[in-house]
Structure 1
């Protein structure tokens, strides 16, 4: 847990005009509550009737998965602090116990809201021809097929366990969903209690066969939740018994991996830690509403313990599992298919990535422009006989990664290949261990980075022999080398052959692989070696401009804004008259619009079809944004203590005029003028959906329907139409 004191860094908080003396609770929003507010915005998209119905269901399932991870990591961390009597307060002044109390109240409200949203969507699905059936809804003509399915596909993998002195309550794994039954033997009225853990490999929903329909009529899709199927056939599961009462429950366990400093072998430690994660402390116990009191009491005693948060909610406990229903083949209930464009600049050079990059720097805007260009860059490097070395960071690469394949091919072709595989990428540790083994077998030099820091920078460099010398080509990304998330996350890929960037990238890799501290960096700023300080300098320059009577201005776009020292800098900039616009998709601890503190700061959050993920920072540099002399940066880092102090990240200035204009005047302006999927953060911490009624501008739709950012530059045919802060087209 991050508990940075905003006064820890004197160089950042010192200023000739101290910020207004406002209490901590009024200066910052709580990080955990801000995250819950973000998940509420995700849930609100499930109620947004502008979205197709199955996309609304997808938002609901995402909110469920988000909440699971929140308990597994964030709440688990607070619980751990409470057990260890940690008395450090959060930056907003709350004790650990106060945070847990507030989180529990808000999470309960959120879970209740999820159940209400599911009920509404379920009714709407039925109206659209997709039924999710209760026991009483299963028709007589469907029962034989369902019984056969149960006998052939379900029965053999179920293992009911009696609960008595000879059979103690079993261990239930993380996210384990279980049913508990009170039974009575028909022959002698003997009572027995049975627990049934539903195997995770079973589908969450069973789709019944389509029934014959008239020509041209789409058959109704009829689904039955797996727990409903099991309850339907308890007579097969428990022959000779009568069910007197039953209930369902689900648990979440502590799934964070705490790295011990004395770990001698990082790979062995993580393999062991992944196994321990499955047995972590119970953090959350959710029980089906209406469960018999005696069963509820037993579960609380056996599972809840003194530490777990216990709640009951609704009749459907696995909100994240609703994702299975989204796969129903109903294109009319989903977003229209979108095929990302391949960058025109690469096509103009006959598909030769290196020739295109040599001619001019390129920025690629995902997911509107295909991630295939990154794969093409690496594949070409693997096959090109003039390429001598490839270096690559891997934070999250997915389960089926063409990136890994390209690195393997390059190593097998005799090239020097180095892969920095981050084992501490939460919930991807096991996958990354597998990739590391595969890469090592192919001859790739695999490095795991630092023990106590994560390597979060997204950097790839290719060294190529050209005209008797060597040229370095670099890719800097704001997102992961993950082909699946690259289709739904908005990110930037920047390609350059600038020698300065190549030298800096080499220094960065040497730092990660050999602990050689980089000196004389020419373009890059990296953390944990001065990124916070560099950002503070850039903010100070805007303060100086404003104090001199100029138009100081800052635009930032990122996932989270948490770091107290940087927030204090922004408050001071606001007090000096700097105009600050923040596009913060998720957590924001800065409190905007507070008189005397943040009058000139505005915060927006965009939640829509794609997940906003790029990190962009723009500073006016003597004039109001946007302008040609502005300083524009892309980064792998959000502004959080962990990114500045405990991760290896990069901050890169964009100097190429075309790319500079594309990022500043297209990407950033589009984010600022969106009025269809934007929320405004208010001083009290609430978010209001923006409805200006003027532009009807949707930035996702705009970039889906306009030509490639990296296409041909501003002056050529096919460039993206110029946007304006005063108009939406």
Structure 2
């Protein structure tokens, strides 16, 4: 019987929408207007995105199948039907990835003298170099495993490179095994650049898998290798911790992390040359079905090719470097955050913020002022306390260094460290232990609710009063991602904002009831209802004939209550322009439902990461908010998030213009969502000349 996998007519399946986002990323790899090595990076990003899709999204879907009553949200699909639909889309995408690699990227690279040498084209000189490389670097660390009753099929690490080898002949003990497994340590590079004495090209590369494949017979002396095929297994990496039942979430999380690499099998990738009996044998070993099999024409891990751009000295094939702007108005600066008035007297960062709100637009603005703000606070004898939320910080973080220094200098320092930030759990545990050793009060957030808010609060003694200084942001306190993610950060001493931030920190530490915020909206308490109320207000204004408009920019839109409110506002006549980078479950352009809604996704050099919400409010007093939260169910109902108003008129205009208006004009990186869930590129027309929001901002800030 054929299964009906038709989605709910009013909502797009969120996982399918995520795959459509990855299709747009992959399209960048095919775009001849983008520098070639950057196109290679986009291909690798699409591969990484697909890995996470299988590890997290599809893995969660398989978990749902254990509950017969479970349905996907908001499209209300049976999980089994959703898996069938998503598998078909994912297979198509993976096929497109390898077609892009083999038929577009590799030929273009060869024209530029960047070659991936195939085994069939190796010269005798190159073969000799490969043999020597195998002898010196591979053979000593490989442990081939012949399969027999005393050598069972080995445990396979998540996303590791492995080979299944078929053999003929007798082993050292006179037995015929037939099959063996070779597991490749993760410490080995997957792609090797050949030295000048091994080749005649300046940028010639060979895959590690090719070297192993050509020398694999040396691992099985006395036997004949009749087949050697690479494979990779993707596992479920979701962590399952009953937070209500554990005494120490850090210890529980550490225990779960050790088993993450051996979660349930979700996807099997094999070489397209692998014969059917061998991949069926692998499927059987991992208890998988054939729709979970992906036969690929190339390396089973495209992401590892991402090393090539850094190994080539070809700046002409990459984006032109840009210079991040330092703190606005801070061109002749000596030392961290020392600004100068006309009388040449130094002005501290605290004086600057006290005088006027300071807005940073990353990555066009440097992240250095945020780090220096904390460094200055750590060393300032008038600073009494520092409180901060940490979701992702990265390794060797200057943020962590500053908090350590502050604690050692006698400040009262509190850090709310979210240990459950996906794939950063190990690093966050390390950083939390560092902070505790320095005397920082470290908390792990709230049981059942990830702390995703981005907040810093500094309490400073000034004359006879205590003044609060606050930084709020839309992105993480991560010095690396701030160079590639677009985000806003606000420094302010606005009394109402500071009081609200102080209340939220008090809530996170004492767990007391703090819902009477003045101007901030907070998940899981007031943000969801607050956004719906503002959408409904626009609808009421439209019904009364007043100006009504909503512009919102975010990473994902999936929460059904928000979507339904937007549909109602559209029917009331509100013009709604949504800029949604990734998942969008709303269907735009449907008569009598969403005909006044447009959805645009912008894909470019930087990862669009702002969360900005604008409500026209009949033009009397328009409201503009920035937030750490997307309009996703998890952000609005299952996390601790903040949404803060932009109250300074200059900052308001900057956020509106640079975060919203110019993105609505973009027709270079913009894709327009259709009501059927597909996206089409926004077109340059005779009346709309080519315009890129990111390029415009780079030129402005540089």
**Alpha carbons of 1:482 and 1:573: their partners in 2 closer, same or farther (altered >3 Å)?**
same
In structure 2, the partner of 1:290 is: 273
Contact 1:204-1:324 at 8 Å conserved across structures: no
Superposed counterparts of 1:271-286, under 5 Å: 271-286=254-269
Can you list the C-alpha shifts for 1:426-469, whole angstroms capped at 9, x where unaligned?
11111100000000001100000111000000001111111121
Contact 1:489-1:610 at 8 Å conserved across structures: yes
Alignment equivalent of 1:686, drawn from 678, 689, 701: 678
1:640 aligns with 2:632: yes
Contact 1:282-1:307 at 8 Å conserved across structures: no
Distance 2:236 2:290 in 1: 11
Distance 2:199 2:121 in 1: 19
In structure 2, the partner of 1:50 is: 33
Alignment equivalent of 1:202, drawn from 177, 183, 188: 188
* Corresponding residue SS for 2:125: coil
Distance 2:485 2:370 in 1: 15
In structure 1, the partner of 2:579 is: 583
Runs of 5+ unmatched residues, structure 2: 1-5, 334-338, 341-345
Contact 2:587-2:677 at 8 Å conserved across structures: yes
In structure 1, the partner of 2:233 is: 251
In structure 1, the partner of 2:643 is: 651
In structure 1, the partner of 2:94 is: 111
Distance 1:305 1:379 in 2: 53
* Corresponding residue SS for 1:572: helix
Alignment equivalent of 1:703, drawn from 691, 697, 700: 697
**Alpha carbons of 1:110 and 1:486: their partners in 2 closer, same or farther (altered >3 Å)?**
same
Superposed counterparts of 1:136-147, under 5 Å: 136-147=120-131
Distance 2:22 2:548 in 1: 33
Q: Which structure is richer in relative contact order (CA contacts within 8 A, separation 6 or more)?
A: 1
* Corresponding residue SS for 1:490: strand
Contact 1:27-1:591 at 8 Å conserved across structures: yes
Superposition deviation, residue 212 in structure 1 = 9.8
My pick for the range that moved more, 353-362 or 483-492, is 353-362
Alignment equivalent of 1:69, drawn from 52, 77, 93: 52
In structure 2, the partner of 1:479 is: 475
Alignment equivalent of 1:319, drawn from 290, 299, 302: 302
**Alpha carbons of 1:306 and 1:234: their partners in 2 closer, same or farther (altered >3 Å)?**
closer
1:227 aligns with 2:229: no
Can you list the C-alpha shifts for 1:622-651, whole angstroms capped at 9, x where unaligned?
13xxxx832100000000111111100011
* Corresponding residue SS for 1:245: strand
Superposition deviation, residue 180 in structure 1 = 1.1
Distance 2:7 2:225 in 1: 55
Alignment equivalent of 1:614, drawn from 610, 617, 627: 610
Contact 1:591-1:598 at 8 Å conserved across structures: yes
* Corresponding residue SS for 1:26: coil
| CA RMSD of superposed structures (Å) | 1.9
In structure 2, the partner of 1:414 is: 410
Superposed counterparts of 1:101-500, under 5 Å: 101-119=84-102, 120-185=104-169, 190=176, 192-210=178-196, 219-260=201-242, 261-305=244-288, 309-328=292-311, 329-346=313-330, 347=333, 348-349=339-340, 350=346, 352-500=348-496
Distance 1:207 1:142 in 2: 12
Contact 1:559-1:613 at 8 Å conserved across structures: yes
Find runs of 4+ consecutive structure 1 residues off by over 6 angstroms: 186-189
Alignment equivalent of 1:556, drawn from 552, 556, 562: 552
Distance 2:455 2:434 in 1: 20
Contact 1:24-1:91 at 8 Å conserved across structures: no
Superposition deviation, residue 133 in structure 1 = 1.5
**Alpha carbons of 1:156 and 1:85: their partners in 2 closer, same or farther (altered >3 Å)?**
farther
Distance 2:701 2:143 in 1: 56
* Corresponding residue SS for 2:155: coil
**Alpha carbons of 1:189 and 1:307: their partners in 2 closer, same or farther (altered >3 Å)?**
closer
Distance 1:442 1:537 in 2: 44
1:510 aligns with 2:506: yes
Distance 1:84 1:168 in 2: 33
**Alpha carbons of 1:211 and 1:335: their partners in 2 closer, same or farther (altered >3 Å)?**
farther
Distance 1:154 1:213 in 2: 20
* Corresponding residue SS for 1:25: coil
Superposition deviation, residue 619 in structure 1 = 0.7
Superposition deviation, residue 89 in structure 1 = 4.3
In structure 1, the partner of 2:343 is: none
In structure 2, the partner of 1:720 is: none
Can you list the C-alpha shifts for 1:294-351, whole angstroms capped at 9, x where unaligned?
3222212112435982232223210121211122221111101122110224554457
Superposition deviation, residue 520 in structure 1 = 2.8
Distance 1:212 1:642 in 2: 54
* Corresponding residue SS for 2:30: coil
My pick for the range that moved more, 204-213 or 320-329, is 204-213
* Corresponding residue SS for 2:65: helix
Distance 1:122 1:86 in 2: 47
* Corresponding residue SS for 2:150: coil
Distance 1:635 1:181 in 2: 52
**TM-score normalized by structure 2?**
0.94
Alignment equivalent of 1:599, drawn from 595, 599, 604: 595
Distance 1:239 1:252 in 2: 31
Superposition deviation, residue 276 in structure 1 = 1.9
Superposition deviation, residue 86 in structure 1 = 4.2
Can you list the C-alpha shifts for 1:141-170, whole angstroms capped at 9, x where unaligned?
223333222222221111100011221101
Contact 1:532-1:644 at 8 Å conserved across structures: yes
**TM-score normalized by structure 1?**
0.90
Distance 1:692 1:332 in 2: 26
Distance 1:286 1:341 in 2: 44
Distance 1:110 1:367 in 2: 30
Distance 1:96 1:132 in 2: 41
